Structure formats: structure tokens, C-alpha cells
Amino acid sequence: MRVKGKRALAAGAAAMATAVVVAAVAKASQENGLAEIAEPLAEGLNPGAHVEQYIAQVVSRLRAIDRDGDGLDRADIDFQRLQGETQERARNIQQILSYDYDGDFRVTRAEIERGAGRDADQRSREAEAMMGLYDADGDGVVTLREAADRERGGRRDRSFDGFLALDPDGDGKLTAVELIARAEQLFKRFDSDGDGTLSKEEYAQIADRVQQIRTARNAPICNLAVLPPDAQLLVFGAYDGQAISSAVIGGQDSETNLIDVTIEPGSRPLYLILTSYESMIWRLRGATGRVHQVVASSLKAAPGGTSASGVTGVSPDKVQIAPAGCPNYFSELGEPDAQRSLASIRSSLQREPDAVFATYSPQGISLPSGQIASARETDAAVPKGFDAATWADAVRYWPAGLVKVEPGQVVSKSKVEKYLVLPSQMGISQLVGSGAVKREKGDVFRVLRPIAHMPPSMGGAHSMTLIFSKGVPVAPGDQGHSCIVNENSGESRGTRCRSSQ
């Protein structure tokens, strides 16, 4: 369910306040010496832990990857990473092969649907998701090469790199003896009464730092563009936007939102990381000459697993479209999604963000200040040719309305094109305005003449009933959770049909 303007403004204000807290917590950790807890030394730090148990757990990680038993070195770490990449490649291939029913080492959408769940909608959604992740060239067939080459966006494991930073003599090898000495020294630092056990009170002093390290270890490492040392690193997370773009990324069954990013005047270069759940076009305006780099990511994937995201307003050489979900989206600071995403960013860029902002569904944001802009339902004028009554339904979900975007101006790694039919209620307003569709009652609509495509995103609260009159073919496209009535065949299909019976 989409939020309205008041919630977006409140979330924006909270985001700006929290951004200050993030920086303050990091500074306090350094002043208290908590930053000295390197990642490898966090293993085994728990309330009630005994020093002997703690040292054993720390050293066991080193021994697990020290292949020659002569001390951990760069070659050991590189091979550990290579093994991880190889295993992940094998898992991708195995997943695709599990749908290869004819044994030709190629998997079609029909094969995925055949092996998916019993429910037709579920089969369609699973097939769509799998093809989006693996079908890199969008030809409707997944090959083993596409499965093997899928850009996972950040499963490279750097957690073992911290071991070499603990090497006391700088010879490039960390032995078990050297590690034991460092672990024992750290434990004694926080075992204030010296009894060899971390009490609950003693552990409470380091609990936040330990949790931060563990979150960072499990967070994916994203292949992000180089961050200049003088650039200001700004991170913004949203679920979706209050406007629909007239251009779509990722195919005609997708929904692409738009968020305005206004760059405020200033001299310091900006490195922006912009994340969303939905497919998103980030429209940069204002003092865009300050922008050194924009990284855009969405959880929604385009074909091949890349983010279904795009950027306008800056040159292509300043834009990086990340793999889907790396960094991951978040819409509220303090929630687990935000912690994981920020851990990925810290590990990937080896730096703390200068400011972090988040809100659920904005019209826009101004940076670096983080001021959130929100639209009201009354702000969006009815576009020419659209039906006013059904437009009122559309702006309940997208109060900023429809924003015209030229596909050729969007920097993206995926195909960008004009919608054949706009998403859900906005598409219905478009079709009713054209005379191709009429409203019968409520959210039941009759299709009077052929339409080019189903309105995308007709799921959940956006579901409806579409009755295709005799002589009118059922349109192609994903029906979502809606009920599609075909008067030519007398058939009805879709989740909504069953729920209304």
C-alpha cells in the first residue's frame, strides 16, 4: 500500500534527524576505542564468553582457510574468494538446469512455468522473476552461459581481508600465534574485572559495535565506482515514488516511478547512492555540475539481473546502474534493510556515508540538505486525453501524476521505451479517455475495442476486473491479481475472479 504525503514528510524529517545520529554514533565509537574491534576479532564476543572459548573461535576461522598451515596470506584469501565465486556460479547453473525438462541446456519461460507452483498467477510471477534475473539478452531463453555470467552484484567476500591488517610484523602472513596474542589483548581490554569472562554489563559496552560488524560480514560487497576522497557521500533510500514516468524500464509489464533529485549549490563534489524497491528514474536537476557520480539501484530487476533504474540530467559517464539489490533498498533508517544496505556501502567503499536519508514514497529530495518534497492528490492535473473520474483514482496512488520522460534521455543498462499502456489505475484513465474502455461499476471495466497491452501492476490494491467484449481479443501482458473475463470463450481467470465468487 502506498503512503500519502504526510507520512512521506514525516519520514523525511526523521531521516534528516537520523543522519546526524549516524555520524555521532560513528564518532563516539572511535573515541571509545570500539573501532579497534576488527572484523576477525568480533567472532565469539558474546555475553558470558570465556577467554579460552573466544580465542578458539577466532583462530578456527584462520585455520579454516590457511591451506598450508604456515600462516594466512593473500594467496589463501584469494583462493577462498575464488572458491566462493565458483560455488555460486555452480548454484546458478544448477537452478536453471532444474527447469531444463527437454535436456537441451536451454530454459524457456514455458519450462519455468511448467515446473513452478500450481497456481497460474504464481507460475507467471515465478517465470517473470527468473527470466528477469537470468535472461540477459531478453530473447526469452536462458542459456547456461547466461546463468553462469549472471551479475550477482556483490557476493565477493572481503571479510577475510581484515586478518592481514592484524599482522603485527608486516611480513604478509598472519600466524595462529600472532592472532592469539591480538585476540587475548582485545578480550582483556573489555574484560574490565579481569575474571576471564565477559559479563552482560561488559558486553553491553561493545554490543552495538559487534552487531555492526556481524551485519557488515553478511552484507554483500557491491562493485561501486571509485569514491574520491574529497567527495561528499550521500545515500538516499525509498520504496517508490509519487510520480509515474511515461518511459518504462524493464519491459511493458513493469512499473517505473520517478523521483526528482534537486542538487543544491555548493563547491564540494557529490557521490550519490540512490536506492529504491520499485523500478525508478531519478531525474537530477539544479546544480548538477557538482555531481561526480550517481549509483542507482532498485530491488526490481530488469532482464539480466541489473537494476531496473535510470538517471537523467547528468552525462552517462557519471552514472552507474548497479545490479538489482546491491546496494539494497531501504525506506526507513534503523530497520534491518537499512542496516544491511549501509553495511554493504561501508564495506564496498571503505568509508562511512556523510549523510543518509530515507522515506517511503517521495516526490523528490534536495541534496545535500535532505529536504523531502511531497505532492498532494490535488497537485496533479489531468493529462490531455485522460478520463477525469478514473484519474482521481490514479492520483490516490501517484499524487505527483504522470511525468513525461524521453526514453533517449535516460541513462540505463536496460531498454527504455514508452509505455503502450500506463500502469494500473493510470492506464485505465488513459484507456477510458481514449474510448477503448468504459467503467461499468466501481473497479469493473469493459474493454470495447482492442488495446495494445494489459495495464501493468494490476496486483494487490491495484487489482480490478477487465471484461473483454465479444469480438475484442484479450490483450497481452501480465494480469497481476486482476480478473480477466473473456466473453469470446466464456472463460474468467485470475485471483480476483476466485475471490469474488
Helix/strand/coil percentages in the chain, nearest 5:
40, 20, 40
Beta carbons within 8 Å of 97's beta carbon, 6+ residues apart: 105, 107, 144
Least confident interval from 117-131, 380-394, 405-419: 117-131
Specify burial of residue 223 (Cβ count, 10 A radius: 0-12, 13-18, 19+): middle
Per-residue pLDDT tens over the stretch 341-362 = 998 998 889 899 999 999 999 9
**Longest Cα separation, the chain:** 85
Specify burial of residue 69 (Cβ count, 10 A radius: 0-12, 13-18, 19+): exposed
Per-residue pLDDT tens over the stretch 437-464 = 999 999 999 999 999 999 999 988 899 9
pLDDT value at residue 19: 42
For the four alpha carbons of 66, 68, 72 and 78, in that order, the dihedral sign comes to negative
Grid coordinates of 407:
526514453
Grid coordinates of 237:
533510500
Which of 341, 243, 337 lies closest to 295 in space, CA to CA?
341
Grid coordinates of 276:
529504491
Give the pairing of strands 491-493 and 483-486: antiparallel
Beta carbons within 8 Å of 501's beta carbon, 6+ residues apart: none
Cβ pair 377, 22 in contact under 8 A: no
Q: What is the pTM of this model?
A: 0.75
Least confident interval from 91-100, 217-226, 364-373: 217-226
Cβ pair 362, 372 in contact under 8 A: yes
- For residue 12, pLDDT over 90 is answered with no
Q: What are phi and psi of 397, to 5 degrees?
A: -95, -35
Q: What residue spans define the domains of the chain?
A: 5-23+237-373, 38-72+160-205, 76-149, 388-395+419-499
- For residue 302, pLDDT over 80 is answered with yes
Which of 291, 292, 273 lies closest to 341 in space, CA to CA?
273
Grid coordinates of 386:
485522460
Per CATH, domain 76-149 is 1.10.238.10: yes
Cβ pair 435, 452 in contact under 8 A: no
Grid coordinates of 159:
571479510
